[in-house]
Amino acid sequence: MLTFDKIKNMQREEIAKQIQWTKLIWSISIINPLMTLPQLIQLWVSHQTVGLSFIFLLILLFVQSGFSLHGFFLRDRFIMISNGIAAGMTFLVILSVLYFRSIG
């Protein structure tokens, strides 16, 4: 078991190995794009956009796209693909909001 005393004397790489960072980041990279899926589903089921902040969605798209580019430039596939797909999902939410606001 890892204790604080053990951790403070370990290198970053050793800590990553102990906590199985690669498996953890794979899980996170799958969850990241799925976090907007419930919002997208609710939009298409209810057709309601009340309470959704369009500014928030644009900022979220900007951040996710930025991290995807960061992953591209650093050649980090986890970051690039996960945030690229997440940005795509957010873009779909934005398009859905625009669609339902235009017909409603």
| Residue 10: Cβ within 10 Å count | 13
The 10s digit of each residue's pLDDT in 48-97 is 998 889 999 999 999 999 999 999 999 999 899 999 999 999 999 999 99
What distance, in Å, lies between the first and last C-alpha atoms of the chain?
A: 57
Q: How many helices, marked H, and strands, marked E, lie in the chain? A: 6, 0
pTM of the model: 0.80
Displacement of CA 103 from its chain's centroid (Å): 29
Q: What total number of domains does the chain contain?
A: 1
What pLDDT does 11 receive? 85
CA distances from 67 to 8, 42, 97 (A): 29, 26, 23
Q: CB–CB of 90/61 below 8 Å?
A: yes
CATH of the domain at 80: 1.20.1280.290
The predicted pLDDT at position 14 comes to 86
For residue 17, give its domain range.
Answer: 4-103
